[in-house]
Chains A and B, each alone.
Chain A
Amino acid sequence: MPRSLPYLLLLPATLFLCVFFLYPFVLVAIDAFTRNGAWTTENFTRMTGHWKFGTTFWNTMLLAAVVVPIQLVMALTMASVVTKLDRGRSTILYIFAIPLGISDLAAGLVWLTIFEQSGFLNSMLTGFGVLDKPVLFLGYQNPWAIFIAIVLAEVWRATAIMMVIIVAGMGLIPKEYGEAAEVFGASRWQRFTRVTLPMLKPSLQTALILRVILAFEVFAVVAALGGTNFPVLMGETYHWQFAMQERGVAAAYAMVILGISIAFTLVLLRLLHVPKGART
């Protein structure tokens, strides 16, 4: 009995993940490479042949490339600030963590209140006399305004998850290291870059992998703010699946998202490699 006990405990979760995680991925791969039961790459040629594909792909990459570094810096700042607090720490932490519970759709709607034509940004700018009349920020004439709005909403929403992981990671770093560095005359900045950052590698790895993958999945924020004026991969996947009823092409999009997610995960695992012995 005792020997089989751990397996019995793992069995339900393992079965579940096999049925609802591994199996569907085999299916989606098959969907992507077949059409009416025959093996073909037609789905991929249709996907890449569509005029929107290039824009969609580069929009998604550009968004990730802009959003993730900003979030990393902000999350590190928030985490360091929080560790220095002595009063009100839990309140500030709660406030910083709030966006963790907010969906991307809700975040998109939150920022829509600011950027829509009769929204708060226009109200403020005309109030200060910067503008004479409200500007349509989120129209197709202003792709950069849409991009900026999406970046702000994404940074606003998803920095919290990185912050939480980094705060948790900082809590695991023994105080003695920093104190020793201080004794040897290291400045605050040196202590941060030479002691804290290297010790944070495992947390940074987790945070970055999660965030980068979520950045490729960006969907509802874009739907709420940009509509179809700023196409991204996940939105196109949805569009092909739902509006065009083209499962194969949607699956091909899924494979693209999957491919770049895995590629970036591997790169991050390699870049922030943590030697096994260094784990505590």
Chain B
Amino acid sequence: MTQTDTRVGPAAAGPAPGPARPFWTSRRRDQLAGYLFIAPQLLGSIVFVILPLILVLWYSLHEWNVLAGTFDFVGTDNYKALADDPNLGAVLRATGLFSVGLVVFNLGLALLLAVLLNQRLRGTIVFRTLFFSPVVVSLVAWTIVWGFLLQDNGGVNGLLDTVGVDGPNWLRGEGTAMVSVIVVQVFKNVGLNMVLFLAALQGVPAELYEAAEVDGASRMRQFWRITVPLISPTILLTSIITVVGSLQVFAQIAVLTQGGPGTSTTVLVYYLYQQAFQFHHFGYGATLSIVLFAIVLALTVLQWQMRKRWVFHES
């Protein structure tokens, strides 16, 4: 860096004493370029991320009636209302269930598909494309089709009927609605994680397996002792992406179940949307936003801490 600096621009060459030295040395020009380059992203982050985050905190301390046009400071009233909200337990439970179900099923299936496609088989590219294809179908379109298939007289039950099983009304059942939403979401996006896992698997040196083979280790044992540790950075990455993504789920709920039946699929973002934009409780909506932020923050910190314990670094 410094070497080039001294070569670019005559002013920078040599100590150049006296007032002849221009203000815009290449070093300074470089600094300016740095600030200019990051300016759009930095200003965007401040205006559209940091400032709204501060505002959401501020709003959560207010009672805000849009229709009456009032905006009154109420201190921690919204947080007390939160603690007394009879729906909060169900909402957090639904959010937690969705996240856990999604992460377990998504990562499990992604890893299974990646391992299968990493075998010496012809046509794995075709299968990879098939498993990946829902990623490119628009989310709402995909969700609408599944909503259709999961109806009482829809395609899934039609299929079950042919094997003599009387399927439930998936989206209207307390016990089945959440499972359905999770399954629809997993098939939509598991291809992304699958591709990440495939890339990681291809980076595992074959000699390790050969050595394990010589030692007589079973396939299962090889998987747990070689594959999983070596791809653990990717497992961490995908699990963070998937958990954070699972907390943001909205369209699927809005299209498939509208949070029902009852509140069984009312996840946090959907509840936030209902409170703020359907019932116009903006102050309470802001309070729910803070809850969402706190959960995302806590999970990210937790996962970051855990990385030391289970991420294997090859070094």
Partners in one complex: no
